Amino acid sequence: MIDKKHIIDRFISYVTVDTESDPKSETTPSTAKQWDLANALAAELKAIGMSDVSIDDNAYIMATLPSNVDHEVPTIGFISHFDTSPDFTGANVKPQIVENYDGKDIVLNKEQDIVLSPDYFEDLLLYKGQTLITTDGTTLLGADDKAGICEIVSAMEYLIQHPEIKHGTIRVGFTPDEEIGRGAHKFDVEKFGSDWAYTMDGSQVGELEYENFNAAGAVVTVKGKIVHPGYAKGKMVNSMYIATEFINSLPRLETPEHTEGYEGFFHLHNMNGAVEETVLEYIIRDHDKGHFEARKEMMQKLTDELNEQYGREVITVEIKDQYFNMKEKVEPVMHIVDIAEEAMKQLNIKPLIKPIRGGTDGSQLSYMGLPCPNIFAGGHNFHGRYEYVPVESIIKATEVICKIAELTALKAKN
């Protein structure tokens, strides 16, 4: 039995360390404060009895739990990231513990009237009677992905303390900067030495994901001409109006707020404009590779049409691919998904196999030669003040890790 208080104490020790990453930084890790938790994690892995614990110059942590069987078993890995999103502050996190949740509103911050309500966040009702860890309404919590780290460390500790559970060699890896898309950039797959791995970075209990978006970023630059407005007739070209034409020419309902499931989108996430120049920043997402390419072509075609309309180059678009759907790399080795699914079923957890509407380190790692599906970590409402995680979900994810290790060894023997 995994000790609940021990899990709570471990998780809180992680989230109270500020590890917010910074997309504007060029260093790895992108913020020096990520080292605080990284060094503590490396020390903790040694303390619980892990072998080959290392932390490199970029704060990537790796460790080994040696096999305790005498037959050959594939080496598997479990990976999570320790940075938190720059979307909302991760400084001075003050977790609140809600015992035996009653299904009603949770007052996060009385002074600021911040309430976590099941009327808006219906998933809360899935966890009536459980223990929830929430924010105090002024920061994010950091369950993304410190819940994943807590689960991996706790699972390794449990396996060490229970040698009757048979398993092969297990590798664990903790990374910086996942939240800014750089978590796998300097991950040494060869050094990790795993046949396959799982990221513990999903949300609801049962989530099991091996499909994610194909992703690109687009920067649209519109050039105008500034002239004194009193004498501008026939001379001024207002770049903001042309930018508006571009925005309105893309499919209005193919945006994040109108799509779900396998539906892709164009997302205008930043705009900076004046008469002389307007810059639009988009992300392009689609699970289907053909549709993804068509979306990029649509943006280029629209650019060409507007330039033709104005008789000169008033607009340019620069599109850069960011990551691709890991389904292509995981499907040839679907047994790794099957093992995770079976592990959940044996623990009476209903597997929820669905596409990720986002990215994951697992996508990049899969294309780097390490097939890497994603498993639930248990948290909800990531990247904001309403983030919470049920302690029971952390425990279940910990049990899934142990069961995957056990099943992998069992299947290798048979």
Catalytic residues: 83, 178
How far apart CA 220 and CA 243 sit, in angstroms, is 8
The CA distance from 208 to 404, in Å, is 13
**Considering just the CA atoms, what is the radius of gyration of the chain in Å?**
24
- Terminal Cα distance for the chain, rounded: 27
**Residue 168 in contact with residue 409, Cβ under 8 Å?**
yes
- Residues near 230 by beta carbon (within 8 Å), at least 6 away in sequence: none
Give yes or no for a contact between 61 and 155, defined as CB atoms under 8 angstroms apart: no
Q: H or E element: which one contains 107? A: strand 106-109
Whether 377 and 144 have beta carbons less than 8 Å apart is answered as yes
Contact 156, 147 (CB under 8 A): no
Q: Which 3 state secondary structure label does DSSP give 221?
A: strand
Who contacts 37 (Cβ-Cβ below 8 Å, separation ≥6)? 14, 17, 19, 82
Q: If phi over 0 gives left and psi between -120 and 50 gives alpha, with beta otherwise, what is residue 369?
A: left
DSSP-derived 3-state class of residue 153? helix
Non-local CB neighbours of 266 within 8 Å, separated by 6+ positions: 250, 251, 254, 255, 282, 283, 284, 295, 299
- For 239, the 3-state DSSP assignment is helix
| Contact between residue 375 and residue 43 where contact means Cβ atoms under 8 Å apart | no
Question: Which run of H or of E encompasses 394?
Answer: helix 391-413
